[in-house]
Amino acid sequence: MEIYRSHVLVCGGTGCTSSGSSKIIETMEQMLVEKELEREIKVIRTGCFGLCEAGPIVIVYPEGTFYSHVKVEDVGEIVEEHLLKGRIVRRLVYKGALTDESAQVPLKDIPFYQHQHRIALRNCGVIDPENIDEAIATDAYQALAKCVTEMTPEEVIEVISQSGLRGRGGGGFSTGIKWKFAASSKSDKKYVICNADEGDPGAFMDRSILEGDPHTVLEAMAICGYCIGSDEGYVYVRAEYPIAVERLEKAISQARAYGLLGDNILGTDFSFNIHVRLGAGAFVCGEETALMASIEGHRGEPKPRPPFPAVRGLFDKPTNINNVETYANIPPIILNGVDWFRSLGTEKSSGTKVFALGGKINNTGLVEVEMGTPLRTVIYDIGGGIPKGKQLKAVQTGGPSGGCIPVDLLDVPIEYDSLIELGSMMGSGGMIVMDEDNCMVDIARFFLDFTVEESCGKCTPCRIGTRRMLEILDRIVEGKGKEDDIEKLERLARVIKETSLCGLGQTAPNPVLSTLHYFRDEYEAHIYDRTCPAHHCRSLTKLQITDDCRGCTACARVCPVDAISGEVRQKHVIDMDKCTKCYSCIEKCRFDAIIKV
C-alpha cells in the first residue's frame, strides 16, 4: 500500500471538467514527476464538491486548503509554493475559507457547507469514483453484506418503511411501501430500475451522484433486488451525461470483479446483474411507464395506471423504480438505523433533500439540507444571497412542473406537503432563484414552453391544452393580451391538471397557476396597462437615456439601426420608432445612463 504525504483532490464533475479541471490534473501530475514528487503526492479526480460557482476546485489534504477558480496557469504556483515549499497560495484560496487572521477554515465550517447535512452526497468530492477500493473504504457494500447475510428481505423492507424515506424523484411516495408491493407480486422474473433520466432545466443532482459515488446506487439497487426477489436491474440514464455513464459502467465492471454484483454475491445464493440503458433526452421518459417503454425499445409514451409497475412493469413483469437520490439514501439507512434517519427532517418528511441551486444566486451549486429547512436558510445562509444588491422576488421549486414561491413565504419549511400547499412541489430538486428583474409572466411562459416541447402528444389535454395556454402567454408578453385571458388560463389549467394521462401534463400548469396566484398584478399590468413591471418583456419596454449620460457617443456607435443621436459631451436621445431593443447600448454604456422604462 502506497503512503502519500499529501493528497490533492481535483473536482472531476461535469461543471469543473468543462472549465478545464482535466487539464489541471494532467499538468499537475506532469509537474510532480518533474519535481520528483509523484511518490509523495497523489492527485485524485473526484466528483462534484457542490460549490459549482467556485470551480474548478482543488483541495489539498491534510491541510484542507480550499482553492477555487483554479486555472491551468495556477498549477505551477500551487506545486512550487504549496506542495514543494509548504506555503499556501493565499490569492487562490476560496474567499470563505480564510478568516480575517488568514487562518484556514475547515471545509465543514465554510458558510456554504455549514448548514448542510450530506447523506446522498456524502462521498461526492471525497473519493475517486473510479476506484472501488476508495468506495469500500467509505463503507460501500457494507449495507448489502448486512442485508444478504444477516437480514431477511422482509426485515430490510420493514427498515426502509419505518425510516420514512419517500421517493426523491418528485412523487414523494413511501419507498418501503413501494418495495413491499413489488415483493408481494408473484412472478418468475422481476426487475429493478434506477431512473437517472434527469430532465428538469438546471437540475443536476442525479448526475452528480452518479459521477461522484456510483457504487452507492449499484449497492442500493442490489439491496432492492434482494428484497423484491429480482436478479436483474437497469440504470436508465440520459446520453447527455457521458461522464456519469462512463463512471457507472466502470463501477459495474469493478463490482462484478469483486463479486459484489453478478452470481452468488458474497458467497450467498443471491445473484444480481445491472445494465446501463441510454435515453435520448426526452423529458417525458422521466415518467416511469414511459421510461420502461423506452428500455423495451418502444416510443417513450406513458401508459394508464393501474396496473402499476409493481404488478406489471418492464417486459410485463413486476418492477420497482426509484430515482438516483432515493437509492443513495438506502445504504446509510441500513447501516445507521431507522432512528438515525428519522431524527433528520420532519415527522412526515424524514432525512435530507438535494437541490440544484441556480438562477439569481451568488453560490450556485448542489445543496443537501434536512427536510424542514426554511427556504431563507438555503437562499441566504448557503446560497449567499442575490448578486449585485438586487432584491429577491421568488423561488421556483420542482422544475418545470413546480411553482413560484414569493419572497414573503421564505420562512416556510422545505418539505413535501408544505410546498404542495403553496402551489409548488418538491420535484426532483431544481431550485431557481429570481430577482426583481424577472418578469413572472415570462417565467411562467418559459417553463410552459419547455413542457409543450417535451409533451409526447399521446393525450389531448397535454398536447393541445398546454399549447393553447402557451399561445395566450405569448400574446400577453407581446402586449396583445385580452381581458378574458386570465380566466381562459385558469380554466385550461384546471382541465389539463384533471384529465392529462401522466404527471407531465398534470403538473404542467403549476408555474402558471402559482404565478397567477402570487403575482396576478403582473398579469393585469401586461394586459390592461400594456406594461411589464419588471421591464423585462421587450414588446412592453422602452429605453430612456438619463441625465447621467456623458455624451461619449459609445451607445450611438454600437446601435445597429442608428436610433441614438446626440452631440459629443451632450445628452443623447433614443428614437423608439427605430429602436429594435437589442440592448447593445445598455451593455456598452459605462455610466449606466440607459434604463428600461
- The fold of 132-340 is Rossmann fold (3.40.50)
Say if CB 129 and CB 47 are below 8 A apart: yes
DSSP H helical ranges for 19-131: 21-34, 75-77, 111-114
Question: Which pLDDT tens digit goes with each residue over 127-153?
Answer: 999 999 999 999 999 999 999 999 999
Q: What are the grid coordinates assigned to 233, written together?
A: 436491474
Q: Does the pLDDT value for residue 99 go beyond 80?
A: no
Q: Does the pLDDT value for residue 103 go beyond 80?
A: no
Question: What are the residue ranges spanned by the domains of the chain?
Answer: 6-106, 132-340, 352-435, 440-529, 542-596
Residue 25: its pLDDT value, please?
A: 98
Just give the CATH number of 352-435: 3.10.20.600
Question: Which pLDDT tens digit goes with each residue over 366-395?
Answer: 999 999 999 999 999 999 999 999 999 999
- The fold of 6-106 is Glutaredoxin (3.40.30)
Q: Does the pLDDT value for residue 100 go beyond 70?
A: no
State the Cα–Cα distance between residues 519 and 524, nearest whole angstrom. 9
State the Cα–Cα distance between residues 410 and 337, nearest whole angstrom. 32
Say if CB 430 and CB 537 are below 8 A apart: no
Question: Which pLDDT tens digit goes with each residue over 266-293?
Answer: 999 999 999 999 999 899 999 999 999 9
**Beta-strand pair 594-596/543-545:** antiparallel
Q: Does the pLDDT value for residue 102 go beyond 70?
A: no
Pick the CATH number of 440-529 from 1.20.1250.20, 1.20.1440.230, 3.40.1390.10, 3.40.50.2300: 1.20.1440.230
Mean pLDDT of 531-537: 95
Long-range contacts of 460-468 (CB under 8 A, 24+ apart): 461/495, 461/496, 461/499, 461/500, 461/501, 461/505, 462/496, 462/500, 462/501, 462/502, 462/504, 462/505, 462/508, 465/492, 465/495, 465/496, 465/500, 465/505, 466/496, 466/505, 466/508, 466/509, 468/492
Question: Which pLDDT tens digit goes with each residue over 446-482?
Answer: 999 999 999 999 999 999 999 999 999 999 999 999 9
Q: In this prediction, what percent of the chain has a pLDDT beyond 90?
A: 90
State the Cα–Cα distance between residues 7 and 64, nearest whole angstrom. 10
Confidence of residue 52 (pLDDT cuts 50, 70, 90): very high
Those residues with Cβ within 8 angstroms of residue 549's Cβ, 6 or more apart along the chain or in another chain: 566, 571, 572, 591, 593, 594
Residue type present at position 377: T
Residue 1: its pLDDT value, please?
A: 61
Q: Does the pLDDT value for residue 400 go beyond 90?
A: no
pTM above 0.85, yes or no: yes
- The fold of 542-596 is Alpha-Beta Plaits (3.30.70)
